[in-house]
């Protein structure tokens, strides 16, 4: 992958690392929907087949690359890749077409786990809930990541945010112990 292109994980993660259950999100946070849109607009998104089916459609203004082992998988408006390396290669070409300098890893649990070792940055929405779910975000190794920014928000039902949350940026720490 071109060194100019950054790989960015974007996820909303509960206190107990749950990110979903029954192939859906488990909370309503309107502010996070807007945040996700602003982080991803104009960029290629790599996601697992289950996450794509949970969303149900390609997101406008972004190029969706769906990873699946199903060689016959095809849906209108998406690119399909048979493994992660192929997905990242397709995302790199899409980034060049879109003029984007980032590839977004948009989940779910399987795809986060397989890409965390390569990611340059993580944009996590830390959700102040401990829901029951069946899909977890991988453990964050504190030796590999540095919290660079945190913006906390209280719950506000009138604004469609049913729980408190924080937008947190993690930068990968280089071997020298400094963020890139
Ligand atoms: N909170 C958040 O920010 C967030 C974000 C995204 C998703 N989610 C949630 O996460 C859950 C879905 O996550 P998940 O872990 O179950 O599924 P997933 O990661 O979305 O998709 C898994 C599927 O991706 C394909 N896949 C995975 N690794 C592959 C590889 N190396 N090569 C080829 N194909 C590969 C396989 O598809 P095939 O079975 O078709 O071969 C696999 O079944 C849902 O509940 C969703 O709502 C939450």
pLDDT at 1 over 80: no
Averaged over 55-73, what is the pLDDT? 97
Residue 68's nearest CA partner among 87, 40, 44 is 87
Identify the DSSP state of 43: S
User: How far is Cα 133 from Cα 25, in angstroms, rounded to an integer?
Assistant: 9
- pLDDT score, position 3: 72
- The domain 6-172 is placed in CATH, from the list 3.40.430.10, 2.60.40.10, 3.30.70.2740, 3.30.230.10, at 3.40.430.10
CB 95 within 8 A of CB 43: yes
Encode pLDDT of 101-148 as tens digits: 999 999 999 999 999 999 999 999 999 999 999 999 999 999 999 999
- The whole-chain average pLDDT of the chain stands at 95
Residue 5: per-residue pLDDT: 94
Atom of ligand 1 nearest to the CA of 20: 45
- 175 has a pLDDT exceeding 70: no
Which letter does DSSP use for residue 157 in this model? G
**pTM as predicted:** 0.96
* Sequence ranges of the domains in the chain: 6-172
The set of protein residues with a Cβ atom below 6 angstroms from ligand 1 is: 11-12, 19-21, 23-25, 47-51, 54, 67-70, 82-84, 106-111, 114, 135
Render pLDDT for 66-106 as a digit per residue (tens, 0 to 9): 999 999 999 999 999 999 999 999 999 999 999 999 999 99
Q: Whose Cα sits closest to atom 37 in ligand 1?
A: 68
Cα–Cα dist 62/94, whole Å = 9
pLDDT value at position 90? 98
Does the structure show a pLDDT above 90 at 178? Answer: no
Nearest alpha-carbon partner for 137 in 10, 29, 13: 13
Band (177; pLDDT cuts 50, 70, 90) = low
Kindly state the percentage of the chain with pLDDT values over 90: 94
């Amino acid at each position: 992958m071109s060194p100019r292109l950054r790989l960015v994980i974007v996820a909303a993660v509960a206190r107990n690392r749950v990110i979903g259950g029954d192939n859906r999100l488990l909370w309503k946070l309107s502010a996070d929907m807007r945040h996700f849109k602003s982080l991803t607009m104009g960029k290629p998104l790599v996601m697992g087949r289950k996450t794509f089916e949970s969303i149900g459609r390609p997101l406008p203004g972004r190029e969706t690359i769906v990873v699946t082992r199903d060689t016959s998988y095809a849906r209108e408006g998406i690119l399909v890749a048979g493994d992660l390396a192929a997905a990242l290669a397709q995302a790199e070409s899409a980034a060049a077409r879109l003029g984007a300098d980032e590839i977004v890893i948009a989940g779910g649990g399987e795809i986060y786990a397989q890409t965390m070792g390569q990611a340059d940055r993580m944009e996590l929405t830390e959700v102040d809930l401990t829901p029951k779910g069946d899909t977890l975000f991988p453990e964050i190794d504190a030796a590999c990541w540095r919290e660079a920014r945190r913006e906390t928000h209280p719950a506000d039902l009138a604004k469609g945010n049913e729980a408190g949350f924080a937008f947190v940026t993690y930068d990968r720490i280089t071997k020298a112990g400094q963020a890139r």
